[in-house]
Amino acid sequence: MAWTEPATAPRPRADADRPTSARDQILTGAGAARYRSAVHDAVNRIAHRFTEVKQPFTGVSHDEMRRRHEKIDLDRPLEDLAAALSELDEVYLDDAVWFHDPKYLAHLNCPVVLPAVVGEAFNAAVNTSVDTWDQSAGATVIEQRLVDWACGLVGFGEESDGVFTSGGTLSNLQALFIAREEAQAKWGADSLPRLRIIASEVGHFSVQKAARLLGLGRESVVAVPVDGEQHMDLAALRRALDDAEAAGDHVAAVVATAGTTDYGSVDRLRRIAEITDGRTAWLHVDAAYGCGLLVSPTRRHLLDGIELADSVTVDFHKSYFQPVSSSAVLVKQGGKLGHTTYYADYLNPRTSPEPNLVDKSLQTTRRFDAIKLWLTLRAMGPEQIGVLFDQVCDLADDVWKAVDAHPDFETVTGPSELSTVLFRLKGDDELQRRARRALAEGGTGLVAATVHEGRQVLKLTLLNPLTTVADVMEVLDGLAAHNTEGPNQ
Ligand SMILES: Cc1ncc(COP(=O)(O)O)c(C=O)c1O
For the segment 31-41, what is each residue's pLDDT rounded down to a tens digit? 999 999 999 99
207 Cα: distance to centroid of ligand 1 (angstroms)? 10
137 Cα: distance to centroid of ligand 1 (angstroms)? 30
431: left (phi over 0), alpha (psi -120 to 50) or beta: alpha
Low-confidence ranges of the chain (pLDDT < 70): 1-18, 484-489
260 Cα: distance to centroid of ligand 1 (angstroms)? 9
Pocket test for ligand 1, best of 176, 289, 293 (most atoms within 8 A of CB): 289
Q: Determine the 3-state secondary structure of 305 from DSSP.
A: coil
248 Cα: distance to centroid of ligand 1 (angstroms)? 31
pLDDT of 483 reads: 73
Atom of ligand 1 nearest to the CA of 167: 10
Enumerate residues lining ligand 1, CB below 6 A: 108, 167-169, 172, 204, 206, 257, 259, 261, 286, 288-289, 315, 327
Domain ranges in the chain are: 118-379
461 Cα: distance to centroid of ligand 1 (angstroms)? 13
The architecture in CATH of the region 118-379 reads: 3-Layer(aba) Sandwich (3.40)
238 Cα: distance to centroid of ligand 1 (angstroms)? 26
Pocket test for ligand 1, best of 176, 266, 318 (most atoms within 8 A of CB): 318
Spatial strand order of the sheet with 420-425 comes to: 104-105, 446-452, 455-461, 420-425, 409-411
Q: Name the residue with the closest Cα to ligand 1, atom 16.
A: 261
The backbone torsions φ and ψ at residue 330, rounded to the nearest 5 degrees and listed phi first, read -115, 135
442 Cα: distance to centroid of ligand 1 (angstroms)? 28
Atom of ligand 1 nearest to the CA of 171: 11
240 Cα: distance to centroid of ligand 1 (angstroms)? 24
pLDDT of 199 reads: 98
What is the average pLDDT value for the chain, to the nearest integer?
95
Atom of ligand 1 nearest to the CA of 108: 14
79 Cα: distance to centroid of ligand 1 (angstroms)? 40
Atom of ligand 1 nearest to the CA of 317: 10
253/200 Cα distance (integer angstroms): 12
181 Cα: distance to centroid of ligand 1 (angstroms)? 23
30 Cα: distance to centroid of ligand 1 (angstroms)? 42
303/386 Cα distance (integer angstroms): 14
The maximal CA–CA distance of the chain, rounded, in angstroms, is 78
265/231 Cα distance (integer angstroms): 6
Pocket test for ligand 1, best of 293, 315, 317 (most atoms within 8 A of CB): 315
Strand partners of residue 273 = none
pLDDT of 16 reads: 52
Atom of ligand 1 nearest to the CA of 290: 1
Nearest to 472 by CA among 424, 387, 390, 402: 402
Pocket test for ligand 1, best of 171, 202, 261, 419 (most atoms within 8 A of CB): 261
Q: Name the residue with the closest Cα to ligand 1, atom 7.
A: 168
Torsion of CA 362, 224, 205, 101, to 10 degrees: -110
299/388 Cα distance (integer angstroms): 12
pLDDT of 17 reads: 59
Q: Name the residue with the closest Cα to ligand 1, atom 4.
A: 168
pLDDT of 218 reads: 79
Q: What is the CA radius of gyration of the chain?
A: 24
pLDDT of 482 reads: 80
**Could you give the residue ranges of the DSSP H alpha helices within 53-93?**
62-69, 81-91
pLDDT of 12 reads: 46
Atom of ligand 1 nearest to the CA of 170: 11
pLDDT of 217 reads: 82
286 Cα: distance to centroid of ligand 1 (angstroms)? 8
8-16, Cβ contacts within 8 angstroms, sequence gap of 24 or more: 8/44, 8/48, 9/44, 10/37, 10/40, 10/41, 10/44, 10/45, 10/82, 11/37, 13/37, 13/82
**Other C-beta atoms lying within 10 Å of the C-beta of residue 32:** 10
